[in-house]
Structure 1
Amino acid sequence: MTKTLGVPRPDQAAYMLRAASEDAGRAYKQRLLDLLDLRPGHTVLDVGCGPGTDLPALAERVGATGRVIGVDRDPAMLATARERTAATSTVELREADAHALPVVPGTVDRAKIDRVLMHVRSPADVLAQLRTATRPGALVALVEPDWDTLAVDSEDLETSRAFTRYTTEKVVRHATVGRSLARLTTRAGFRVETTIATTPVFTDFEHADHTLGLGRNMQQAITEGHIDRTRGETWFTGLAQGPFYASFTLVTVICSHP
């Protein structure tokens, strides 16, 4: 069966909710919440909360005396988040950019930012905002991929490598921010408490195509002249025939406000 390049980009809210519901997504998010050490009464900040994927779990852990603040700059994402948290009075949603967090300085006990820094204009400026928002003793959890480590198995290894290069150089703004988290958070004035690297593995082609954008990003690479059309299309068709393997490194850092 021949697979077609150029599948339309999925709805972002649906994409994020699906990714969070899959085994790998559930596993790292559960560990992230555990490492944050959330307690009743805490004020928690979710920067780039998207469609509210994690807001219900955060609200459950801080209880009726706690408060969860979800911040996102996308009104459509916030609309979905409002639907998902309508019955939870402790969740507040605020439309704002991560570079200008709408919270009173020094009032946040816990904060998380999950796969957002790779997209922002300045990761350092966002971390400075988090440093200002958090109180002494607060914990901050950050999760980011390192797309330089994206490995896609193919007999045409050079095209796999070219695809990874295109992803890191053209598709993702800060593609290697995952490996830089400890350095960036330390420069922002935080103290690194824990650093963990995990490797999400994809053995199902359809799942990987949806999550990693194999087809749509290859089509873009071909259109922009970075990869030869025949070679790129042959590579993509070969991936669909299986067996399939792809992986990348996901870095989690827990840091504290001294």
Structure 2
Amino acid sequence: MRALLIIFTLCCGISLFAQENAQDDQRFSAVVINAQTEKPMGSVHVVNLNQVVGTITNDNGEFSIAAAVNDTLYFSFLGFKSQKIRVTNDMFKFKDTKIALTELAYALEEVIVRPYQLTGYLEIDVKNFPINNAYQYSISGLSVSYEGGNKNPSAVTKVLGAILNPADLLRNLFGKQPNQMKKLRKMKEDDQIRDLLASKFDRETLTELLQIEKVDIEDILNNCNYSKSFITTANDLQILDAISSCYEEFKVLNRKK
């Protein structure tokens, strides 16, 4: 009786393991269309942010990508607003899922530009002109001061971070998030993702994949001695390779400690 129970338990475990693997290996298929014209869109980049794999749509707007329930898919196309969707069970059950992208011309809200109107009266113009509320912090022994943004408890930490070496900064950003660095390596290995990043300059895809802010990317590269010109003009693929190189240096420095 005990032997039968053990066999039954093993069979259940194998069955559950097989089901989990089947779910991980399943592919999600859908069609990407233009929200305004409802026409299919070819060459749209699709990235699974969880599994860090990418693909592009064909001329009929169709794509197929490895995905599991609750994975987040990121859609990107030049001139259109990028979009993220969460994969659900219903999307696997029904095979006619359509993802609509909106042209930026429709997505952008109206912006009213109001230039400063100077009256010539100093007392009035001073009140109308915006004031820079960023606080400056100076540290004894250093010839320059650092701007820490609005006054808050983290401002001093930002100032201290500005004079730390790259390894310290990277440890703060990535040392507690090793999974993000695994994503970084997978991003470098996926040709579709590399092609997407090579065509972009907005850091949007990088921030989505790595789950960090644009300012963090700039801080990493600044502290790894990349020039301001490179940081502002490089495409996202070059930025990815630079961050990766910087992280490799961080690992070497970390081993020596």
Work out whether the TM-score is over 0.5: no
Higher Rg of the two aligned structures: 2
- Shorter-chain TM-score tier: under 0.3
Q: By percentage of residues, which structure has more helix?
A: 2
> Which protein, 1 or 2, shows the higher relative CO under an 8 Å CA cutoff with sep ≥ 6?
1
When normalised by structure 1's length, the TM-score is: 0.19
TM-score by length of 2: 0.19
